[in-house]
């Protein structure tokens, strides 16, 4: 199982360490572990609300598509390590992945 660590820009939220099978997206891993990650479009690469920063393990995730890059350009504070959680599919069972979730309070439609 791949190891996935979630950290948060919002320092009031404790980091989450978990495991996931290859084939799952970072968004699915977040949902399965009660990690709040907005996804206004339902996780179909039609918005930028599941924007995350991949701090470790980029090579163990499915390659970024042109469509995903277009939506990342619309995200709040995009960086070189920006990805959409719905498009980050884990490729390897032995992956070690670290994800930082931007402050979700800045996203329109935020519920928590």
Cα–Cα distance list, 12 to 9, 66, 87 (Å): 9, 34, 27
For residue 110, pLDDT beyond 60: no
pLDDT classification of 109: cutoffs 50, 70, 90: low
Mean pLDDT of 38-57: 95
**Per-residue pLDDT at 112:** 46
Q: What torsion, rounded to 10 degrees, do the Cα atoms 104, 105, 109, 110 define?
A: 70
The CATH number of 2-104, from 3.10.20.30, 3.40.605.10, 2.30.30.220, 3.30.565.10, is: 3.10.20.30
Report pTM. 0.92
Domain locations along the chain: 2-104
Q: What is the pLDDT of residues 49-99, one digit of tens each?
A: 999 999 999 999 999 999 999 999 999 999 999 999 999 999 999 999 999
């Amino acid at each position: 199982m791949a190891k996935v660590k979630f950290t948060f820009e919002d320092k009031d939220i404790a980091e989450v360490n978990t495991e996931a099978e290859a084939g799952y997206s970072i968004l699915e891993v977040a949902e399965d572990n009660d990690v709040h990650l907005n996804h206004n479009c339902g996780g179909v690469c039609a918005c930028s609300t599941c924007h995350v920063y991949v701090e470790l393990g980029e090579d163990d995730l499915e390659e970024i598509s042109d469509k995903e890059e277009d939506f990342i350009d619309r995200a709040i504070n995009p960086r070189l390590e920006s990805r959409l959680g719905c498009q980050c599919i884990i490729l390897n069972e032995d992956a070690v992945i670290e994800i930082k979730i931007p402050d979700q309070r800045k996203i329109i439609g935020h519920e928590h």
